[in-house]
Amino acid sequence: MVALKLALASTMLTAVAGHGSMITPPPRQAHGQKYDAANLCSCKDTGNCYSNITEGAQYCGVGCLGEACLYYQIGCFQNCGTCSMTGKDLYVTPADLQRAGNCNPPEPTLPEEFRSYNIDSQSTHGDWTKPNPWRAPGTAGLGNPEFQPCGVNSVGAPAVWKSGATAEVEFSIYANHAGGYHYRLCKMSPGGTPTEDCFQQNPLDFATETTTIKYYDGSRAPFTIPARTVSQGTHPAGSQWRLNPIPMCNCDQGAYCRGAEDAEVGAVAVHRRMQDKCEAELNTLCGQAKKQGTTQCDNCLKAQWSKVEAAGCSKEGFTYCGKAPPKPGPKPSSGEQYAPYADTHFRPGQTSKSCPTGLMFNSSWDEGVGSGPNAMGYGDMPYSMTDVVKVPKVLGRYMLSWRWDCEQTPQVWNSCADIVIV
């Protein structure tokens, strides 16, 4: 899990970082944290904020209580057992598939009407999300005993569910990646370790056709939206999954979407953000050595190079120890990933400050979109999604797993909670 958290630290620097976690029942990964002033992304009281209060206030808000949103797997593709745990190219390359155990994803099984990304196929890259987890829900990691369905194996206080009744389950998003989710159980035995195979055998059915939206900042009373549930083309066969109801903006990047005349602006903004974070990381690692001279600085970089790369810096043209600033790895693209699709999916009269060019699909309410005022959307969604699931009749101690299969990226996010059925 240290490796996963280090991987997260580096991928947060890219333009398509996203995170989410289960909220109810409390997941093990939240470590008892509750949503309060210390969790707010706006918290700036040094020493009294739980969240990271560095630039961007990362890992905060409803969708990342106790850093629960740090647990996921990357480089995962539909119908492939191995996750590479490296890289996050927006457009999957042959090298990405090779790193994931020579993965060869088949055609998607998800019905087209449950797509959450590029649903009108208006991207200049065509149907580029085909290899990603949501296109065949539940198949990423299939058959691999090393696939991690929970992340952290710390023990939490169990929630109590009544046999044969229903129970509420809740999750929130720190930053969006589209796709969809479901819940499943693994019956625990003394000394047993929950596995993906165990969870795959016990998918839970939803008990209602709605999802309740709860605003944790108190700005709105809870309300329900229609849920879109799919059981065709999912794994296990017939298991129920739900479309993530929060649409992203209508371009390949899902944020920073711009008109054709200034599509480059989004790419440049991301590049500048990368450069700032890269330079900050380098100053942390080798700032003192740099003050001592070029030789000492070069020796430091040689010793710390793996961490420098993890920060997103490219070796090509690297001049940190000289007079020029460091060069981040990702370069501004041609702007095509920021160019909006023709369809906006706005209702008549609807507009969006965070997605001015349109949405991936129709939003369930005007503010229910996947990019916040700062365009990247980190921590800018102060609401959660609550569903009601059917509780099995067999008594005992279980582990509950929330699994989010993404469509925009090759990622699977997980949270786990302890349950006792009585």
How far apart CA 361 and CA 344 sit, in angstroms, is: 8
- Give every residue of the chain whose pLDDT is below 70, as ranges: 1-18, 28-31, 44-48, 50-59, 66-68, 70-71, 87-88, 151-156, 190-191, 259-277, 308-319, 323-335, 371-379
Q: Is residue 223 part of a domain?
A: yes
Q: Is residue 110 part of a domain?
A: yes
For the segment 383-409, what is each residue's pLDDT rounded down to a tens digit? 999 999 999 999 888 999 999 999 999
pTM: 0.64
Dihedral sign, Cα of residue 373, residue 378, residue 380, residue 386: positive
Query: In sequence order, what are the beta bridge partners of 8?
Result: none
Q: Which helix (H) or strand (E) holds 72?
A: strand 72-74
Reported as a single tens digit per residue, the pLDDT across 32-58 is 777 777 777 777 665 667 655 444 445
What distance in Å separates the CA atoms of residue 137 and residue 230, rounded to the nearest whole number? 10
Residue 38's Cβ-count burial label (10 Å; 0-12, 13-18, 19+) is: middle
Q: Which residues contact 407 (CB under 8 A, 6 or more apart)?
A: 115, 116, 117, 129, 132, 133, 134, 135, 177, 178, 179, 180
Count of structural domains, the chain: 1
Q: Which residues of 357-366 are buried (b: 16+ CB within 10 A; e: fewer)?
A: bbbbbebbee
Tell whether 348 is covered by a domain: no
Q: Whole-angstrom Cα distance, residue 384 to residue 5?
A: 24
Give the pLDDT confidence score for residue 318 in this predicted structure: 54
pLDDT of residue 301: 81
Residue 346 resides in a domain: no
In this prediction, residue 14 carries a pLDDT of 32
Query: What local confidence, expressed as pLDDT, does residue 23 receive?
Result: 76
pLDDT of residue 393: 93
Longest dimension (CA), the chain: 70
* 355 within a domain of the structure (yes/no): no
Which residue range forms the structural domain that includes residue 116? 2-254+362-421
Q: Considering only CA atoms, which of 281, 264, 265, 274 is closest in space to residue 327?
A: 274
- Measured CA to CA in angstroms, residue 39 lies from 66, 129, 349, 369, 383 at distances of 8, 33, 35, 22, 14
The verdict on whether omega for the bond into residue 133 sits within 30 degrees of 0, i.e. cis, is: no
Residue 231 counted as domain residue = yes
Residue with tokens 């590049």: 271
User: What pLDDT is stored for residue 316 in this prediction?
Assistant: 52
CA distances from 240 to 136, 170, 233 (A): 12, 16, 10
**Calpha distance 84→375 (Å, rounded):** 29
pLDDT reported for residue 20: 72
133 part of a folded domain = yes
Predicted confidence at residue 310, as pLDDT, reads: 64
**Residue 307 counted as domain residue:** no
Rounded CA separation 350/366 (Å): 7
